[in-house]
Amino acid sequence: MTDSPLLQGSIVALLTPMTPDEKIDFPAFERLVDLHVNAGTSAIVVASTTGEGPTLSIKEHVRLYRAAVLCSEGRIPVIAGVGSPSTQVACELAKEAANEQVDAILCLTPYYNRPNPAGLQRHFVAVAEATDTPVILYDVPQRTGVTLGESLIVELAAHPNIIGLKDATGDLRRAERLLHAVDVGFQIVSGDDSTAFALMAAGGAGVISVAANVAPSAVRAMCDALRRGDTRDAARIDDSLRPLYAFLVADTNPLPAKWLAHRIGWVNATLRLPLVIPPELARRLSANDALVACAALLGR
């Protein structure tokens, strides 16, 4: 197992722009990829939770993988989200992603089914063995209803094709224990913006960030400061991002992120049902101080 540059620094969980009739807006998607290349984002994750992956068909997943790879032109690594409650579907998506020549696969714990540890182990091994493309585990129990146990993560970390973990639990003590328990080549990245600074300061490799959708340069600058050992500057940037972190959890992800990206002028505000931004939520978001804070961050 080797140290992976795919899991270093600021990685964006990329929004999926939609047209008003809920079709994928590929021109806007390509503009977002270019934006992150120019902002110095370390990698992009497509068709993940933030990218409304659960609402996308298999065909749409594949089209997003292809569009990301073609648009990136090797300028930025592409990580494909393959979340599914079905192991068979997750393996199919992994194979399709590999065919599109993505750089890695982000595999979500199977939601709704709530499998036991034996089922989780077999699920992730099946995905890891469906392709030679490196696999990243994704643990987000508040969204899926199931948690990857620490002993299972350590076991899966020994698989030659599993290279890391996106830990969105926000449990820093668990992350610190895992950092000491896994091989040095197995990378742990935060999946929770509000605790990303602390996890990276403890030895985590980076963050797969929602905030980077609307403040890409600021999130990158925080990660860069930590990687060069300047915790004071990183803490200062993290403090400046706090209002944005709070804003982004004002409702279910990715509603606030997409609404704010729309206000900035980067995407349409449309989400695919069952996700929707009702008028009362739009009014509440409009009154949020993070709008001012985000405007300042965009100048970084």
pLDDT score of 2: 34
The verdict on whether 138 is a catalytic residue reads yes
The closest alpha carbon to 168, from 108, 118, 128, 220, belongs to 108
- For the whole model, what pTM was predicted? 0.94
Q: For the residues 64-82, what does the mean pLDDT come to?
A: 97
CATH code, 263: 3.20.20.70
pLDDT per residue as tens digits for the range 190-200:
999 999 999 99
Q: Cα separations (Å) of 92 from 118, 129, 147, 225, 291?
A: 21, 12, 23, 39, 40
C-alpha 35/C-alpha 267 separation (Å) is 12
pLDDT in tens, 235-247: 999 999 998 999 9
- Mind listing the pLDDT tens digit for each residue in 10-42? 999 999 999 999 999 999 999 999 999 999 999
Q: How far is CA 225 from CA 31, 163, 170, 252, in A?
A: 27, 24, 21, 30
Kindly tell me if the per-residue pLDDT of 172 is higher than 70: yes
Specify whether 166 is catalytic: yes
Total domains in the chain come to 1
The whole-number average pLDDT for the span 249-259 is 93
Strand boundaries in the chain, DSSP class E = 9-13, 43-46, 78-81, 104-108, 135-139, 162-167, 187-190, 206-209
Catalytic residue selected from 65, 111, 138, 245? 138
Query: Which range has the worst mean pLDDT, 50-54, 229-233, 279-283?
Result: 279-283
Domain span at 48: 5-297
Q: Per the residue annotation, which of 59, 95, 112, 166 is the catalytic one?
A: 166
The mean pLDDT of the chain is 93
